[in-house]
Structure 1
Amino acid sequence: MKDTETHPIGTLMLIDDSEIDQMIYRRIAIKSGLVRDLLQFMDAVKAFEYLSDLENKRPDLILLDINMPGMDGFEFLEAATKQLGAELCPIVVMLTTSLNPKDEERAMSFSVVREFLSKPLTLTQLQALGALVGAKGSNTVGQ
């Protein structure tokens, strides 16, 4: 991830079954000042249902855990990209404790996945992701 100018993220969606990770990411998002709206899901199925309703606010960035009960991060990506395609989100970042290179390879095979990061997410990483959102020129930022 390049360290470039920081841009607002707008709407950030967190999908992670860990309450502790959710709390950490929420605090980082608030501290960064980059996130206008925060959508939090501990269940990937509920996040998928939210995204499936095209009347709901679209996220500019999704932080997605890999290992979750029920629907894991890969199953979420498969279902969401199959049903929603480009409507899913401009940028998805996979967050994981996995050190398996095959997980990273699989994650990066999805066109919407831009980064594969080890947990926990840091403020510096979130700021760099803001630069990714800005570079992408997301139409949803500022709406």
Structure 2
Amino acid sequence: MEIVLVDDDPIVILLQKKLMQKAGISHQIISFNNGEEALSFLTDKGNENKYLMFLDINMPGLSGWEVLDEFEKNNKGLELKVIIITSSIEDADRLKAKTYDRIVDFWVKPFSLQDFVNLKVNYGL
């Protein structure tokens, strides 16, 4: 499984990588600072790999929701699970996340080492 990080804040991406390392998650990690690059990367992939994507929903350009919508239009065969990473505490965002089959979790920033330890256990990383 490859891990894809998508966040417009490079500090958040760095923190995620460090916490994954401390939690013992050693899978390949690919990061993008915008939704357009992440979407392009996933669109070019075949169905040979599984992906777990940490996706920020509030980004300039394509939002996380728009990335998911565009992905669904073109890549239904790719095995992709998504964890939403957001600073939003709006119930509307949590409810919207439940309408996407690919979304498996919803994390509000800031997150902790324990979040990644739990992730490792829950997804066998």
Q: Is 2:54 the counterpart of 1:63?
A: yes
SS in structure 1 at match of 2:76: helix
TM-score (norm 1): 0.79
Q: 1:18 and 1:58, CA in 2 relative to 1: closer, same or farther beyond 3 A?
A: farther
Q: Which runs of 4+ in 1 moved over 3 A?
A: 55-60
SS in structure 1 at match of 2:45: coil
- Counterpart Cα distance in 2 of 1:113 and 1:58: 18
Preserved contact between residue 51 and residue 79 of structure 2 (Cα < 8 Å): no
Give, in angstroms, the shift of residue 63 of structure 1.
0.5
Alignment of 1:34-53 (within 5 A): 34-53=25-44
- Counterpart Cα distance in 2 of 1:15 and 1:81: 17
Q: 1:24 and 1:48, CA in 2 relative to 1: closer, same or farther beyond 3 A?
A: same
Give, in angstroms, the shift of residue 127 of structure 1.
2.0
Deviation string 1:21-71 (CA, Å, 9 cap, x unpaired) is 011111112212213211000011100000001249745311000100000
SS in structure 1 at match of 2:27: strand
Among 119, 133, 142, the residue aligned to 2:109? 119
Structure 2 gaps of 5+ residues are none
Q: 1:49 and 1:93, CA in 2 relative to 1: closer, same or farther beyond 3 A?
A: same
Q: Is 2:94 the counterpart of 1:104?
A: yes
- Counterpart Cα distance in 1 of 2:96 and 2:22: 32
Preserved contact between residue 60 and residue 133 of structure 1 (Cα < 8 Å): no
Give, in angstroms, the shift of residue 86 of structure 1.
4.2
Q: 1:131 and 1:87, CA in 2 relative to 1: closer, same or farther beyond 3 A?
A: same
Highest relative contact order (Cα 8 Å, sep 6+), 1 or 2?
A: 1
Structure 1 gaps of 5+ residues are 1-9, 135-140
CA RMSD of aligned residues (A): 1.9
